[in-house]
Amino acid sequence: MSDAGIPDARAAWKREILATLSLAWPLAAANLLQMMVWAIDVMFIARLGTIPLAAASLSFALFGTLMWSLTGLTGIVSALIAAALGRGTGVVREVRRATRMALWLAVGSAALLAIAMHRGEAFMLMTGQDPEISARAGEFLAVLGWAAIPMLVCNVLRSFVSALDRPVIATMVVGLQVGFAALSNYALVFGHFGFPALGMIGSAIASSVTAWLGVLAYVALIQADRRLRAFHIFGRWWSPDWRYFRRLAVLGAPVTLTIIAEGGLFNSAAFMIGRIGADQLAAHTLALQLASFAFQVPFGISQAATIRVGYYYGAGDRDGIARAGWSAIVVGTGFMLTTATAMLVAPLTLLSLYIDPRAPQYAATVGYAVLYLRVAAAFQLFDGFQAVAAGSLRGLQDTRAPMWIALAGFWIPGLATMLWLGFRTPLGGLGVWIGLLVALVTVSAGLLGRWLLRERFGLMPAAERPPKILPATG
């Protein structure tokens, strides 16, 4: 490279990092706000008593994991939209058809989930839960399940606006939902503003109403934006395009299984530690809650990476693909380094967000939580890295191999280490957390190898086209 080319290359990297940050921060903010929506439901149900809280916690664990997995099935539409924008030919038609079929897939898969949730009580009993708690959870899930349809529709519309350089709309919509979730829970759980007091069922209804409000907000904001309105994604919604439907299903199904593999392992950790002791389970819940909040930022960066890499993939710009992927990986890992440092140097401050760490009754829980946070500080880096690397590979429309990497990494060395150290050594819950770390390290290594060898695996575009620069988010 000539001396004149070095400043140009540096400028390109700087633009890419800034563009990634501009796209990622609204998505990360929306992820954090979405967690607040779920937290609000739990806060209101907690006031109903121990049994409703236990039933709701189990219900959210099951429903939340399945919902998260289906967002992977439908959210892959952002990669197809970005690639269409990168190609620059037939953009309106391609984007409209991809989004329409993603909406079809969202409604269909969500309806199946809603029907499956009517078997919630049987599932809880099968896992050995208390009969009374299982019954309450079954009633709750039967109503909550129907919130899946508007939630997944929101996910598709969020992917659409984000891929088209309007991620702030997603932040605005979820911010609106946070306030409405609190208001509707207040009205329906305890019976205010003339509504009957419906208890847990009221919270499930509030979740559905809040999700449908999100759909209406997205529709209104899309129609109000000239650029978004031009794609007419709500026109001829009944007209199928089976080529796009199949493409979405083929690309999205492995993402769904990848999420289930990760979510299932982390949920199984709670059941394992629950068999070890109540204090360790409480500590696990607190430490994992902190780690989950921190994870929402690299998850947002991962979503941005899918869009940025997908755009350059469609444009046939190999240098752009490399810059977009590595920029996202550096930004995501850098953030997680910050949160890891906080977990090491200020664990009590972080725990004080939930409990008083100096209260005598929490002494044992705090002691275990501090140990778990030390392990969490390590796996923060690998968790963030694997999330962003997976997002970058999705931009290359590569989902099947990452699925096998996740299944193998999480459920072979990860699960084996959790079981061995958790139940065959004195480490107990700490051993389970070390197993989670082993799983994340393994998956991160596999995804890194896949990304580094993307050319050898045939993931890159076949022909180089004149490179274009995706504008930074405004």
pLDDT, tens digit, 9 for 90 and up, residues 451-472: 999 999 999 987 555 444 444 4
Instruction: Give pLDDT, residue 86.
Output: 94
Closest C-alpha among 14, 19, 21 to residue 335: 21
Tell me, yes or no, whether 126 lies in a domain.
Answer: yes
Q: Are residues 297 and 442 in the same domain?
A: yes
Contact by Cβ (8 Å): 442, 136: no
Q: In this structure, are 30 and 168 located in the same domain?
A: yes
Supply the pLDDT for residue 288: 87
pLDDT of residue 235: 86
pLDDT band per the 50, 70, 90 thresholds, residue 48: confident
Range 148-176 average pLDDT: 96
Residue-level pLDDT at 218: 97
Q: Which residue has the higher pLDDT, 317 or 65?
A: 317
Distance between CA 384 and CA 332 in Å, rounded?
Answer: 6
Q: Are residues 305 and 189 in the same domain?
A: no
d(CA 79, CA 425): 45
| CA–CA distance, 179 with 418 (Å, rounded to integer) | 39
Average pLDDT over residues 98-122: 96
Residue 42 has pLDDT above 50, yes or no: yes
Residues 265 and 221 in one domain: no
The CA-CA-CA angle for residues 394, 105, 171, to 5°, reads 65
What mean pLDDT, rounded, does the chain reach? 91
- Return the higher-pLDDT residue of 39 and 172: 172
pLDDT for 474 beyond 50: no
Residue 307 and residue 154: Cα distance in Å, rounded? Answer: 18
Give the integer Cα–Cα distance in Å for 331 and 314. 23
Query: pLDDT at position 205, please?
Result: 96
Q: What is the mean pLDDT of residues 339-364?
A: 90
Q: How far apart are CA 272 and CA 266, in angstroms?
A: 10
Quick one: pLDDT at residue 355? Answer: 80
Shared domain for 319 and 413, answered yes or no, is yes
212, with CB counted inside 10 A (0-12, 13-18, 19+), is middle
Residues 439 and 297 in one domain: yes
For the four alpha carbons of 353, 190, 181 and 295, in that order, the dihedral sign comes to positive
For residues 389-398, average pLDDT:
96
Domain check: are 68 and 202 in the same one?
yes
Is residue 268 one of the residues assigned to a domain?
yes
Is 275 found in the same domain as 235?
no
Q: Does residue 248 lie within any of the structural domains? A: no
User: What is the model's pLDDT at position 3?
Assistant: 53
Q: Select from 200, 216, 240 the last residue of a domain.
A: 240
When comparing pLDDT for 35 and 162, which is higher? Answer: 162
Q: Whole-angstrom Cα distance, residue 474 to residue 471?
A: 8
For residue 7, is it within any domain? Answer: no
Let me know whether 188 and 296 are in one domain: no
pLDDT tens for each residue of 125-154? 887 778 888 899 999 999 999 999 999 999
Contact 26, 304 (CB under 8 A): no
Q: Is the pLDDT of residue 162 over 70?
A: yes
Mean pLDDT score, 178-206? 94
The whole domain housing 49 covers 12-240
Q: Which two tokens stand for residue 429?
A: 């819950």
Residue that has been written with the tokens 């609204």 in this structure: 26
Q: Please determine, for residue 1, whether its predicted confidence score (pLDDT) is greater than 70.
A: no
Residue 80 belongs to some domain of the structure: yes
* Statement to judge: residues 153 and 131 lie in one domain: yes
At residue 396, the pLDDT reads: 96
Exposure on the CB side of residue 143, measured as CA atoms within 13 A: 17
Cα separation, 445 vs 294, whole angstroms? 21
Taking only the tens place, the pLDDT of each residue in 296-347 is 999 999 999 999 999 999 999 999 999 999 999 999 989 999 999 999 999 9
Token pair for residue 219? Answer: 């529709």
Look at residue 232 in the predicted model and tell me its pLDDT: 93
Q: Residue 269 in contact with residue 358, Cβ under 8 Å?
A: no
- Identity of residue 319: D
Is pLDDT of 83 > 90? yes
Reported as a single tens digit per residue, the pLDDT across 221-265 is: 999 999 999 999 998 888 999 999 999 999 999 999 999 999 889
> Which residues, other chains included, contact 325 with Cβ-Cβ below 8 Å and sequence gap of 6+?
305, 308, 309, 389, 392, 395, 451
For residues 277 and 403, membership in a common domain is answered with yes
Cβ partners under 8 Å of residue 232, min gap 6: 92, 96
Shared domain check, 209 and 319: no
**Final residue belonging to a domain, choices 240, 262, 297:** 240
What percent of the chain lies above the pLDDT cut of 70?
96
Q: Which two tokens stand for residue 156?
A: 């598709």
How far is residue 162 CA from its own chain's centroid? 15
197: three-class secondary structure by DSSP:
coil
CB atoms < 10 A from the CB of 6, how many?
10
Mean pLDDT, residues 200-222: 96
CA separation, residue 209 to residues 67, 150, 304 (Å): 17, 9, 28
Q: For residue 392, what are the CA distances in angstroms to 35, 191, 317, 413, 459?
A: 24, 47, 14, 24, 11
The whole-angstrom separation of Cα 228 and Cα 226 is: 6
pLDDT band at 15 (very low <50, low <70, confident <90, very high): very high
| Torsion angle defined by CA atoms of residues 388, 394, 395 and 398, in that order, rounded to the nearest 10 degrees | 130
Length of the chain: 474
Query: For residue 264, what pLDDT is reported?
Result: 87
Average pLDDT rounded to a whole number, residues 96-115: 97
Other beta carbons within 10 Å of 455: 10
What pLDDT is stored for residue 470 in this prediction? 46
For 153: left if phi > 0, alpha if psi spans -120 to 50, otherwise beta; the answer is alpha
In this prediction, residue 444 carries a pLDDT of 95
pLDDT in the model for residue 10: 86
Structural domains in the chain (count): 2
State which of 181, 205, 240 marks the end of a domain: 240
